[in-house]
Amino acid sequence: MNIEGLLSASIRYGTPLLFATVGEIITERAGVLNLGLEGLMLMGAFTGFVTAYSTGNLWLAFFLSMVVGALFALIHAFMSITLKVNQVVSGLALTMLGSGLSGILGRAYVGRPAVMFQPVAIPGLASIPIIGPAFFNQDPLVYIGYVLTFFLAWFIFKTKAGLTLRAVGEEPAAADARGINVFLVRYIATLVGGGLTAAGGAYLSLAATSMWMENMTAGRGWIAIALVIFAAWDPIKAMLGSYLFGFIMSLQFRLQATGEVHVSANLLLMLPYLVTLISMVLFSLNENFRKRIGAPSALGVPYSREEKT
Protein backbone atom coordinates (compact mmCIF):
# COMPACT_ATOMS: atom_id res chain seq x y z
CA MET A 1 0.00 0.00 0.00
CA ASN A 2 1.17 3.47 -0.79
CA ILE A 3 2.06 4.96 2.57
CA GLU A 4 2.55 8.48 1.30
CA GLY A 5 -0.85 8.46 -0.29
CA LEU A 6 -2.42 7.05 2.82
CA LEU A 7 -0.86 9.68 5.05
CA SER A 8 -1.68 12.46 2.68
CA ALA A 9 -5.30 11.30 2.54
CA SER A 10 -5.38 11.10 6.32
CA ILE A 11 -4.43 14.76 6.52
CA ARG A 12 -7.10 15.65 4.04
CA TYR A 13 -9.76 13.69 5.86
CA GLY A 14 -8.56 15.05 9.18
CA THR A 15 -8.48 18.74 8.32
CA PRO A 16 -12.24 19.41 8.37
CA LEU A 17 -12.38 17.62 11.69
CA LEU A 18 -9.50 19.72 12.93
CA PHE A 19 -11.17 23.01 12.10
CA ALA A 20 -14.42 21.94 13.70
CA THR A 21 -12.70 20.52 16.75
CA VAL A 22 -10.57 23.55 17.52
CA GLY A 23 -13.62 25.71 16.94
CA GLU A 24 -15.59 23.72 19.46
CA ILE A 25 -12.64 23.79 21.86
CA ILE A 26 -12.73 27.58 21.90
CA THR A 27 -16.48 27.56 22.43
CA GLU A 28 -16.35 25.01 25.20
CA ARG A 29 -13.37 26.62 26.85
CA ALA A 30 -15.65 29.60 27.43
CA GLY A 31 -18.23 27.31 28.99
CA VAL A 32 -20.68 27.08 26.11
CA LEU A 33 -21.60 23.66 24.80
CA ASN A 34 -22.50 23.81 21.12
CA LEU A 35 -23.91 20.54 19.80
CA GLY A 36 -24.86 22.19 16.53
CA LEU A 37 -21.54 21.54 14.81
CA GLU A 38 -23.10 19.37 12.14
CA GLY A 39 -25.46 22.16 11.15
CA LEU A 40 -22.69 24.75 11.24
CA MET A 41 -20.39 22.63 9.09
CA LEU A 42 -23.16 22.10 6.57
CA MET A 43 -23.89 25.80 6.38
CA GLY A 44 -20.16 26.44 5.97
CA ALA A 45 -19.83 23.86 3.24
CA PHE A 46 -22.87 25.25 1.48
CA THR A 47 -21.83 28.91 1.70
CA GLY A 48 -18.32 28.08 0.57
CA PHE A 49 -19.52 26.14 -2.38
CA VAL A 50 -22.07 28.68 -3.53
CA THR A 51 -19.59 31.53 -3.28
CA ALA A 52 -16.95 29.59 -5.13
CA TYR A 53 -19.43 28.56 -7.76
CA SER A 54 -20.75 32.01 -8.42
CA THR A 55 -17.61 34.11 -8.02
CA GLY A 56 -14.82 31.61 -8.56
CA ASN A 57 -12.96 33.25 -5.70
CA LEU A 58 -11.92 30.50 -3.30
CA TRP A 59 -10.59 32.73 -0.56
CA LEU A 60 -13.72 34.84 -0.55
CA ALA A 61 -15.68 31.59 -0.32
CA PHE A 62 -13.66 30.42 2.63
CA PHE A 63 -14.05 33.76 4.37
CA LEU A 64 -17.78 34.03 3.75
CA SER A 65 -18.38 30.52 5.03
CA MET A 66 -16.74 31.55 8.27
CA VAL A 67 -18.92 34.64 8.48
CA VAL A 68 -22.06 32.60 7.93
CA GLY A 69 -20.87 30.06 10.50
CA ALA A 70 -20.40 32.85 13.01
CA LEU A 71 -23.85 34.23 12.28
CA PHE A 72 -25.38 30.83 12.85
CA ALA A 73 -23.43 30.39 16.03
CA LEU A 74 -24.87 33.75 17.05
CA ILE A 75 -28.29 32.11 17.26
CA HIS A 76 -26.92 29.53 19.63
CA ALA A 77 -25.05 32.20 21.58
CA PHE A 78 -28.16 34.28 21.98
CA MET A 79 -30.17 31.25 23.04
CA SER A 80 -27.70 29.86 25.49
CA ILE A 81 -25.95 32.95 26.84
CA THR A 82 -28.65 35.60 26.85
CA LEU A 83 -31.79 33.51 27.07
CA LYS A 84 -30.05 30.77 29.09
CA VAL A 85 -31.99 27.94 27.50
CA ASN A 86 -30.87 24.34 27.60
CA GLN A 87 -27.76 24.17 25.45
CA VAL A 88 -28.25 20.56 24.40
CA VAL A 89 -31.65 21.32 22.96
CA SER A 90 -30.51 24.55 21.36
CA GLY A 91 -27.57 22.75 19.77
CA LEU A 92 -29.86 20.04 18.39
CA ALA A 93 -32.13 22.71 16.99
CA LEU A 94 -29.13 24.37 15.38
CA THR A 95 -28.14 21.09 13.75
CA MET A 96 -31.62 20.68 12.36
CA LEU A 97 -31.83 24.23 11.14
CA GLY A 98 -28.40 24.09 9.50
CA SER A 99 -28.87 20.78 7.77
CA GLY A 100 -32.40 21.66 6.73
CA LEU A 101 -31.59 25.10 5.45
CA SER A 102 -28.48 24.03 3.57
CA GLY A 103 -30.50 21.19 2.10
CA ILE A 104 -33.24 23.49 0.84
CA LEU A 105 -31.02 26.25 -0.45
CA GLY A 106 -28.46 23.87 -1.89
CA ARG A 107 -30.86 21.87 -4.00
CA ALA A 108 -30.14 23.93 -7.07
CA TYR A 109 -26.42 23.39 -6.73
CA VAL A 110 -26.33 19.63 -6.38
CA GLY A 111 -24.11 18.08 -9.01
CA ARG A 112 -22.60 21.30 -10.29
CA PRO A 113 -18.85 21.48 -10.58
CA ALA A 114 -16.91 24.42 -9.15
CA VAL A 115 -13.30 25.39 -8.65
CA MET A 116 -11.29 23.96 -5.77
CA PHE A 117 -8.06 24.57 -3.88
CA GLN A 118 -5.08 22.88 -5.51
CA PRO A 119 -2.13 21.43 -3.60
CA VAL A 120 0.83 23.75 -3.14
CA ALA A 121 4.13 22.10 -2.34
CA ILE A 122 6.24 23.88 0.26
CA PRO A 123 9.69 24.13 -1.21
CA GLY A 124 12.29 22.18 0.75
CA LEU A 125 9.94 20.55 3.22
CA ALA A 126 7.99 18.77 0.52
CA SER A 127 11.06 16.84 -0.57
CA ILE A 128 11.49 15.04 2.75
CA PRO A 129 10.75 11.38 2.04
CA ILE A 130 7.33 10.07 3.09
CA ILE A 131 6.50 12.95 5.44
CA GLY A 132 7.17 15.65 2.87
CA PRO A 133 4.60 14.71 0.25
CA ALA A 134 2.07 13.77 2.91
CA PHE A 135 2.29 16.87 5.08
CA PHE A 136 3.77 19.56 2.88
CA ASN A 137 2.24 18.98 -0.51
CA GLN A 138 -1.30 19.90 0.44
CA ASP A 139 -3.77 22.62 -0.28
CA PRO A 140 -3.38 25.97 1.52
CA LEU A 141 -6.20 25.26 3.96
CA VAL A 142 -4.24 22.37 5.43
CA TYR A 143 -1.37 24.71 6.19
CA ILE A 144 -3.82 27.15 7.73
CA GLY A 145 -4.93 24.26 9.91
CA TYR A 146 -1.34 23.67 11.09
CA VAL A 147 -0.77 27.31 11.87
CA LEU A 148 -4.16 27.73 13.49
CA THR A 149 -3.63 24.80 15.80
CA PHE A 150 -0.33 26.02 17.13
CA PHE A 151 -1.57 29.57 17.35
CA LEU A 152 -4.61 28.52 19.35
CA ALA A 153 -2.55 26.32 21.65
CA TRP A 154 -0.32 29.31 22.31
CA PHE A 155 -3.29 31.62 22.63
CA ILE A 156 -5.24 29.50 25.07
CA PHE A 157 -2.38 28.54 27.34
CA LYS A 158 0.16 31.33 27.04
CA THR A 159 -1.68 34.60 26.64
CA LYS A 160 -3.69 36.73 28.98
CA ALA A 161 -6.68 36.65 26.68
CA GLY A 162 -6.48 32.86 26.71
CA LEU A 163 -6.46 32.90 30.47
CA THR A 164 -9.55 35.08 30.41
CA LEU A 165 -11.23 32.60 28.11
CA ARG A 166 -10.43 29.68 30.39
CA ALA A 167 -11.46 31.62 33.48
CA VAL A 168 -14.87 32.31 31.97
CA GLY A 169 -15.31 28.62 31.30
CA GLU A 170 -14.04 27.47 34.68
CA GLU A 171 -15.28 30.06 37.16
CA PRO A 172 -17.50 32.63 35.50
CA ALA A 173 -18.42 34.20 38.82
CA ALA A 174 -14.80 34.74 39.76
CA ALA A 175 -14.04 36.08 36.31
CA ASP A 176 -16.96 38.44 36.60
CA ALA A 177 -15.70 39.61 39.93
CA ARG A 178 -12.40 40.41 38.30
CA GLY A 179 -14.16 42.69 35.92
CA ILE A 180 -14.25 40.39 32.92
CA ASN A 181 -17.38 40.69 30.82
CA VAL A 182 -18.41 37.04 30.90
CA PHE A 183 -21.20 37.46 28.39
CA LEU A 184 -19.02 39.23 25.88
CA VAL A 185 -16.25 36.61 26.12
CA ARG A 186 -18.73 33.81 25.70
CA TYR A 187 -20.33 35.51 22.73
CA ILE A 188 -16.99 36.03 21.06
CA ALA A 189 -15.87 32.46 21.77
CA THR A 190 -19.10 31.01 20.40
CA LEU A 191 -18.92 33.14 17.29
CA VAL A 192 -15.27 32.41 16.61
CA GLY A 193 -15.85 28.72 17.31
CA GLY A 194 -18.82 28.70 14.95
CA GLY A 195 -16.78 30.40 12.25
CA LEU A 196 -13.98 27.85 12.52
CA THR A 197 -16.45 24.98 12.52
CA ALA A 198 -18.02 26.32 9.37
CA ALA A 199 -14.54 26.62 7.88
CA GLY A 200 -14.17 22.89 8.50
CA GLY A 201 -17.35 22.38 6.52
CA ALA A 202 -16.08 24.68 3.80
CA TYR A 203 -12.96 22.54 3.52
CA LEU A 204 -15.19 19.71 2.39
CA SER A 205 -16.70 21.63 -0.49
CA LEU A 206 -13.68 23.75 -1.44
CA ALA A 207 -10.68 21.48 -1.01
CA ALA A 208 -11.71 17.88 -0.42
CA THR A 209 -14.17 17.90 -3.31
CA SER A 210 -15.44 20.63 -5.57
CA MET A 211 -19.10 19.95 -5.29
CA TRP A 212 -22.06 20.24 -2.99
CA MET A 213 -24.18 17.39 -1.69
CA GLU A 214 -26.98 17.40 0.81
CA ASN A 215 -25.67 16.29 4.20
CA MET A 216 -22.17 16.09 2.83
CA THR A 217 -20.58 16.31 6.28
CA ALA A 218 -21.95 12.82 7.03
CA GLY A 219 -21.71 13.07 10.81
CA ARG A 220 -18.32 14.78 10.98
CA GLY A 221 -19.78 17.42 13.28
CA TRP A 222 -20.63 14.77 15.83
CA ILE A 223 -17.19 13.23 15.53
CA ALA A 224 -15.71 16.65 16.23
CA ILE A 225 -17.71 16.85 19.46
CA ALA A 226 -16.22 13.53 20.50
CA LEU A 227 -12.78 14.69 19.43
CA VAL A 228 -12.94 17.69 21.73
CA ILE A 229 -13.17 15.36 24.68
CA PHE A 230 -10.67 12.96 23.16
CA ALA A 231 -8.31 15.91 22.89
CA ALA A 232 -9.02 17.08 26.42
CA TRP A 233 -9.78 20.62 25.18
CA ASP A 234 -6.22 21.00 23.88
CA PRO A 235 -5.72 22.14 20.26
CA ILE A 236 -2.48 20.16 19.79
CA LYS A 237 -4.14 16.94 20.87
CA ALA A 238 -7.10 17.87 18.73
CA MET A 239 -4.76 17.92 15.78
CA LEU A 240 -3.41 14.49 16.61
CA GLY A 241 -6.92 13.19 17.16
CA SER A 242 -8.24 14.65 13.94
CA TYR A 243 -5.46 13.17 11.86
CA LEU A 244 -5.85 9.85 13.63
CA PHE A 245 -9.48 9.86 12.68
CA GLY A 246 -8.55 10.90 9.20
CA PHE A 247 -6.15 7.99 9.09
CA ILE A 248 -8.78 5.49 10.13
CA MET A 249 -11.21 6.91 7.59
CA SER A 250 -8.76 6.80 4.71
CA LEU A 251 -7.53 3.35 5.73
CA GLN A 252 -11.10 2.19 5.67
CA PHE A 253 -11.62 3.57 2.17
CA ARG A 254 -8.40 2.07 0.96
CA LEU A 255 -9.09 -1.37 2.34
CA GLN A 256 -12.45 -1.21 0.75
CA ALA A 257 -11.04 -0.07 -2.56
CA THR A 258 -8.19 -2.54 -2.81
CA GLY A 259 -10.25 -5.40 -1.51
CA GLU A 260 -7.07 -7.03 -0.26
CA VAL A 261 -8.31 -7.42 3.26
CA HIS A 262 -11.80 -8.71 3.71
CA VAL A 263 -13.07 -6.56 6.50
CA SER A 264 -16.60 -5.29 6.50
CA ALA A 265 -16.72 -1.61 5.67
CA ASN A 266 -19.29 -1.06 8.38
CA LEU A 267 -17.08 -2.57 11.05
CA LEU A 268 -14.25 -0.33 9.93
CA LEU A 269 -16.52 2.69 10.01
CA MET A 270 -17.45 1.72 13.53
CA LEU A 271 -13.80 1.79 14.48
CA PRO A 272 -13.28 5.54 15.02
CA TYR A 273 -16.17 5.68 17.44
CA LEU A 274 -14.98 2.61 19.26
CA VAL A 275 -11.49 4.06 19.47
CA THR A 276 -12.83 7.28 20.95
CA LEU A 277 -14.87 5.45 23.51
CA ILE A 278 -12.07 3.12 24.50
CA SER A 279 -9.50 5.88 24.61
CA MET A 280 -11.82 7.91 26.80
CA VAL A 281 -12.10 4.94 29.13
CA LEU A 282 -8.34 4.43 29.15
CA PHE A 283 -7.66 8.07 29.83
CA SER A 284 -10.14 8.13 32.65
CA LEU A 285 -8.69 5.00 34.23
CA ASN A 286 -5.34 6.72 34.61
CA GLU A 287 -5.44 9.01 37.62
CA ASN A 288 -2.97 11.51 36.14
CA PHE A 289 -4.82 11.81 32.93
CA ARG A 290 -8.11 12.19 34.63
CA LYS A 291 -6.86 15.13 36.62
CA ARG A 292 -5.55 16.81 33.52
CA ILE A 293 -8.43 16.33 31.16
CA GLY A 294 -11.17 17.83 33.25
CA ALA A 295 -13.77 19.62 31.24
CA PRO A 296 -14.31 23.32 31.87
CA SER A 297 -16.27 23.35 35.11
CA ALA A 298 -18.96 25.69 33.88
CA LEU A 299 -19.46 23.84 30.57
CA GLY A 300 -23.06 23.97 29.55
CA VAL A 301 -24.06 26.08 32.55
CA PRO A 302 -25.48 29.46 31.66
CA TYR A 303 -24.04 32.27 33.69
CA SER A 304 -26.34 34.64 35.42
CA ARG A 305 -25.36 37.34 37.82
CA GLU A 306 -28.47 37.20 39.92
CA GLU A 307 -28.58 33.50 40.56
CA LYS A 308 -25.32 32.49 42.06
CA THR A 309 -25.48 29.14 43.70
Partner 1 sequence: MRFKLERRLDIPKWAGVVIPLVSVGFSLLIMGIVIYSYMYSKPSYLNRAIFGALNEYRSNIMKIPDESWSRFEKLLKAGRMKSAIAVPKGKLSSNVSSFALSRLEDVFRSTEEAYKFVRDTSESAKSFPKDFESLKNLHNNIGYIVKAYSALNKAINNAKSIMNKECDCDLKEGINSFVENLTKVGILEDLIREAKSVDTADPEKAIKKLEDIRSKFPDEVKKLFTSKMENSIKVISSRCSLPKSSWEGLVLDYKNNLENAMSSGFNPLLFEKASKILNNVSTYYCFAPVVKVWNDSLDPLYMLHKKASIIEGAYSQLSSALRSSQGVLRSLEKGRTFFVKDTLYSVARYTRNSYMKLEKDSFTSSIFASRIESLKSLYNEVNSLYKSLGKPSDIKKNASQISEKVKTIAKKIEEESNAMREDFLKAAEGFARSAIDSFSAIQSKMFPEGSIESRIAEYLDLLMDTYRYKLKEVLSSGIDRMKLNMAYSQLKEVSRDLTMFLRDISDYYPPSNKRMSLSLDYETYVFGMEALRIHSSQDIIYDSYRSKEEIDKALSGKKDITKEEYTKILDKILQGHLDRVYSILTNLKKDLKSLTESFGQVSKVSWIAVGSAYKQLFTWPFIPKEGLPDTINYMTPLLFTGLGLVLVFQMKLWNIGAEGQFYVGVITALWLSLFVFNNHPSAAEIPIVLLIGGLAGAAWAAIAGALKAFLNIDEIVSTLMLNYIAFHWMEYLVYGPWKAPTNFPETKEIPHQLFLPTFGTSRVHIGIIIAISLSAVVYLLMKKTWWGFDLRVIGDNPNAARYAGVNIAKNIVLAMAVSGFFAGLGGATQILGFEHKLYHGYAPGYGYTGIIIAWLARLDPWATILVSFLFGGFLVGGDQIQLVLKLPKAMVVAIEGVILFSLIASEVLFKYKVRVVRK
Q: Which residues bind partner 1 (CB under 8 A)?
A: 33, 35, 39, 53-54, 75, 79, 82-86, 88-90, 92-104, 107-109, 112-113, 214, 219, 222, 225-226, 229, 264-267, 269-270, 273-274, 276-277, 280-281, 284-285, 290, 295, 306
**Cα–Cα distance between 181 and 81 in angstroms, integer?**
12
Q: In angstroms, rounded to a whole number, what is the distance separating the alpha carbons of residues 9 and 137? A: 11
* Smallest gap from residue 211 Cβ to partner 1 (A): 13
Which residue pairs, CB below 8 angstroms and at least 24 apart, start in 161-167?
165/26, 165/29, 165/30, 165/189, 166/29, 166/296
The strand pairing partners of 120, in sequence order, are 138
Residue nearer to partner 1 on the CB measure, 8 or 65:
65
State the minimum distance, in angstroms, from the CB of residue 122 to partner 1: 27
- How many residues in the chain? 309
Q: Which is nearer to partner 1, 260 or 306 (CB)?
A: 306
Compute the least distance from the CB of residue 267 to partner 1, in Å.
5
Helices 3-29 and 220-230 cross at an angle (nearest 10°) of 80
- Per DSSP, 299 falls in state T
The answer to whether the CB of 201 falls within 8 A of the CB of 66 is no
Query: Is the Cβ of residue 58 or residue 94 nearer to partner 1 in the bound state?
Result: 94
Report the residue number, 173 or 275, with the smaller CB distance to partner 1.
Answer: 275
Cβ closest to partner 1, residue 80 vs residue 137: 80
Shortest reach from residue 263's CB to partner 1, in Å: 10
CB of 290 to partner 1, least distance (A): 8
